[in-house]
């Protein structure tokens, strides 16, 4: 992979070759709750972005009071 | 009725439906509200960005969907450029839902239905629900085994909740029409209505500011 990147050939490699999309999906299972790890990660990412959007300062505060 | 109560003749402008419509539209949405160049200070926060981000994603979805629609539902299986546009379409939908959910959470915790904005909230909520149906029919329009699997599973699910007779999710033609015409038109029109309502009523102020304004009004009444 490093050699591939080193030769600058990444642009010609489909993303599906970098991340194995053909393998068996992983699931989180707890009692009645079942969800794929991918979906769970997206939900966690949404929560992180939501919290960051509230906490991070917004640049160029120039508006009417 | 006395002689002085003779009904007034309506002017030409009052008789014309276009003039009446224009007057009403200008009254509801004057140009400075429709395209404002300044916003209140509390809007300067990242949490207010996600509505615009959702609209940007929606524009990308519609544009890429038009290309896919023009070339036909099977095109993306057989050409590289088709796969490219299908990828753009898919990932803009992912971004659309991501941004819309963060927008929804932000508006929920702001209580964005306050101050006569309930219709804005309802329009947004209905748009969200119709968007889910639009995305679902998109999965059914893929023309692959994934679409077949999802349609048969959904058929059982929809039948079990008693709505399976209203439409047939295993009918590709019907679902494709839903996906490329009926539901996208509904989403775009509802989004436009939602945005116009936001323009008319303004962005909801934070709770702290609304409470301070309420207290000030009460103090003024007492004085």
pLDDT band at B36; cut points 50, 70, 90: confident
User: Six-digit token pair at B187?
Assistant: 């989403």
Residue-range definition of the domain harbouring residue A34: 25-57
Is A36 a member of any domain? yes
Q: Do A65 and B41 touch (CB under 8 A)?
A: yes
Token pair 């969800």 in the structure block, residue: A35
What is the interface size between A and B, counted as CB pairs within 8 Å? 44
Closest CA to B73 of B144, B134, B130: B144
The DSSP annotation for B66-92 comes to HHHHHH-TTHHHH-HHHHHHHHHHHHH
Mean pLDDT value of segment B44-53: 94
What pLDDT, in 10s, does the model give residues B137-155?
999 999 999 999 999 999 9
Percent of chain B scoring above 70 in pLDDT:
96
Asked whether the predicted pLDDT for residue A63 surpasses 80, the reply is no
pLDDT at B34: 85
Asked whether the predicted pLDDT for residue A62 surpasses 80, the reply is no
pLDDT at B151: 96
Q: Which residues of A touch B87 (CB under 8 A)?
A: none
Q: Supply angle C-alpha B142, B61, B112, rounded to 5.
A: 120
pLDDT at B215: 81
Helix (H, G, I), strand (E, B) or coil at B184: helix
Is A6 a member of any domain? no
Q: Which residues of A touch B101 (CB under 8 A)?
A: 46
**Which B residues, 30 through 49, put their C-beta within 8 Å of a C-beta on chain A?**
38-41, 43-47, 49
Whole-angstrom CA distances from B188 to B2, B131, B194 are 54, 10, 10
pLDDT band at A1; cut points 50, 70, 90: very low
Bridge partner residues of A30 (DSSP): A33
Q: Taking the CA atoms of chain B, what radius of gyration do you get in angstroms?
A: 24
* DSSP run (H or E) holding B169: none
Is A47 a member of any domain? yes
Whole-angstrom CA distances from B111 to B40, B196, B218, B222 are 17, 19, 22, 28
Q: Supply angle C-alpha B73, B128, A40, rounded to 5.
A: 85
pLDDT band at A5; cut points 50, 70, 90: very low
What pLDDT, in 10s, does the model give residues A20-61?
767 788 899 999 999 999 899 999 999 999 999 999 998 875
Residue A64 or B21, more confident: B21
pLDDT at A6: 45
Helix (H, G, I), strand (E, B) or coil at A29: strand
Q: Do B41 and A64 touch (CB under 8 A)?
A: yes
Query: In Å, how far is A17's CA from the nearest CA of chain B?
Result: 15
Is A45 a member of any domain? yes
Closest CA to B61 of B138, B130, B125: B138
Are residues B98 and A47 in contact, defined by beta-carbon separation less than 8 angstroms? Answer: no
Is A62 a member of any domain? no
Are residues B88 and B105 in contact, defined by beta-carbon separation less than 8 angstroms? Answer: no
Residue B2 or A20, more confident: A20
Helix (H, G, I), strand (E, B) or coil at B11: coil
- Residues with Cβ within 8 Å of B36's Cβ and at least 6 positions away in sequence, in order, are B199
Are residues B211 and B205 in contact, defined by beta-carbon separation less than 8 angstroms? Answer: no
Asked whether the predicted pLDDT for residue A3 surpasses 60, the reply is no
Are residues A24 and B14 in contact, defined by beta-carbon separation less than 8 angstroms? Answer: no
pLDDT at A15: 62
User: Six-digit token pair at B181?
Assistant: 């015409």
Total domains in chain A come to: 1
Query: In Å, how far is B124's CA from the nearest CA of chain A?
Result: 18
Are residues B159 and B201 in contact, defined by beta-carbon separation less than 8 angstroms? Answer: no
What's the half-sphere exposure (Cβ side, CA atoms, 13 Å) at A6?
Answer: 3
Nearest residue of chain B to residue A45 (CA atoms): B98
Query: In Å, how far is B43's CA from the nearest CA of chain A?
Result: 8
Are residues A50 and B105 in contact, defined by beta-carbon separation less than 8 angstroms? Answer: yes
Q: Do B101 and A46 touch (CB under 8 A)?
A: yes
pLDDT band at A12; cut points 50, 70, 90: low
pLDDT at A34: 93
User: A13-17, B5-9, B172-176, B199-203 — which is least confidently predicted?
Assistant: A13-17
Count Cβ atoms below 10 Å from residue A24 Cβ, excluding itself: 6
User: A15-19, B66-70, B102-106, B197-201 — which is least confidently predicted?
Assistant: A15-19
Q: Do B98 and A46 touch (CB under 8 A)?
A: yes
Helix (H, G, I), strand (E, B) or coil at A15: helix
């Amino acid at each position: 992979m490093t050699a591939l990147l080193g030769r600058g050939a990444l642009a010609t490699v489909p993303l599906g070759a970098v991340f194995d999309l053909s393998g068996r999906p992983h699931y989180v299972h707890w009692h009645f709750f079942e969800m794929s790890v991918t979906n769970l990660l997206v939900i966690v990412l949404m929560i992180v972005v939501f919290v960051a959007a509230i906490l991070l300062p917004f640049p160029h505060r120039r508006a009417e009071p | 009725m006395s002689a002085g109560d003779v009904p007034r003749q309506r002017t030409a402008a009052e008789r014309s439906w276009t003039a009446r419509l224009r007057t009403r539209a200008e009254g509801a949405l004057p140009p400075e509200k429709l395209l404002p160049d300044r916003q209140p200070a509390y809007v300067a926060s990242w949490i207010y960005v996600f509505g615009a981000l959702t609209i940007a994603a929606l524009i990308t979805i519609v544009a890429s969907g038009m290309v896919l629609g023009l070339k036909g539902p099977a095109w993306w299986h057989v050409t590289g450029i088709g796969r490219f546009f299908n990828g753009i379409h898919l990932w803009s939908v992912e971004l659309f839902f991501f941004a819309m959910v963060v927008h929804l959470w932000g508006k929920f915790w702001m209580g964005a239905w306050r101050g006569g904005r309930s219709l804005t909230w309802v329009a947004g909520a209905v748009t969200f629900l119709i968007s889910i149906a639009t995305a679902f029919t998109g999965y059914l329009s893929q023309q692959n085994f994934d679409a077949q699997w999802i349609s048969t599973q959904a058929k059982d699910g929809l039948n079990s909740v008693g709505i399976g007779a209203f439409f047939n999710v295993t009918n590709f033609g019907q679902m494709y029409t839903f996906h490329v015409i009926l539901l996208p038109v509904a989403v775009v029109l509802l989004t436009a209505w939602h945005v116009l309502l936001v323009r008319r009523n303004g962005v909801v102020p934070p709770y702290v500011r609304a409470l301070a304004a309420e207290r000030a009004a009460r103090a003024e009444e007492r004085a």
